[in-house]
Chain A
Amino acid sequence: MAEKKHTLDTSKWIDNYADYLFNYAISRVNNSDLAKDLVQETFFAGLKSAKNFQGKASERTWLVSILKRKIIDHYRKINSKKGQAEVRMNFYNDGENEGNWIEERVPQSWDNASEKKIETEELRTQIDICIDKLPEKYGMVFRMKTIQEFETEEICKELDISASNLWVMIHRARTQLRKCMEDNWFNN
């Protein structure tokens, strides 16, 4: 009978926290289906460990901490898909000319940059298309840093990565994005 105490009003749970958790998840993974899955997993995990909930934090904080773990797990999963063909382009030489620009990948000049700067719906769509083309983990880190404007420390903590690791990923993401914007926005 003692379990009865832990029976939760799950329908209320969802009314109270689903939107908050969903918004939290989607700003990190930018995929509505994935965000839904993560929220569902979070509620299930919450249900399973409801007994351990000591009431020290608010229920929402507690659920968010579970969701954070789920996001790290997801990040680890996409990060460990080693050997899978990454769409990452190489922009710099190896070997003798290590670290120098590969000739055909050298940034081209944007003659029309000033007239193309104007903010339009079209521009936003193009930025989104280019971000979506990034390998998932780069996209995730880039979005968190540039679009959601999280502090570096916060991202490192949330994804359990080092700062230098983060900057390398930001660099790769931005180099690839620059190329994509050059091809599809500035020089097309």
Chain B
Amino acid sequence: MFKSLKITCDEATTICDKNQYGEASIIELIKLNLHFVKCRICARYTKQNMTLTKLYKGHASSCKEMKHCMSHDDKDALKKALQEGNKAFNEVGS
């Protein structure tokens, strides 16, 4: 029975990463915590992962506030290209 709960470090850290988004299942968390009993490296990975998650979250909130807009020049170029395209398209269509 316990054999099925045994996982590799690769699997453990995958679960740990999933858990950073709160999306690991109960059974996955049990497997992960059992893995920690014998693997200190993955326990360290997990601790550091939580630190990183905090950093990424801070980064995310500053990124989300940023709105990206196209420059006027880019828009003008796009308008021109589109008008040409429209013309060519209408010629073919008629």
Contacts and interface: CB of A to CB of B under 8 A. Distances in A.
Interface of A: 3, 7-8, 10-11, 13-15, 18-19, 22-23, 26-27, 32, 35-36, 39-40, 43-44, 47-48, 91-92, 98-101, 106-107, 109-110, 113, 117, 119, 123-124, 127, 145-149, 152, 167-168, 170-171, 174-175, 177-178, 181-182
Sorted from nearest, which 3 A-B pairs have the closest CB atoms? Answer: A99-B8, A99-B10, A171-B14
A47 B17 contact: no
Interface residues of B, number: 45
B79 A171 contact: no
Interface of B: 7-11, 13-14, 17-18, 20-21, 23, 41, 44-45, 48-49, 51-52, 54-56, 58-60, 62-64, 67-70, 74-75, 78-79, 81-83, 85-86, 89-90, 93-94
Contacts of A178: 45, 48-49, 52
Contacts of A18: 70, 75, 78
A181 B55 CA distance: 11
Contacts, number: 131
Contacts of A171: 13-14, 17-18
Given A11-B83, A167-B17, A171-B13, A3 B90 contact: yes
A101 to B, nearest CB: 5
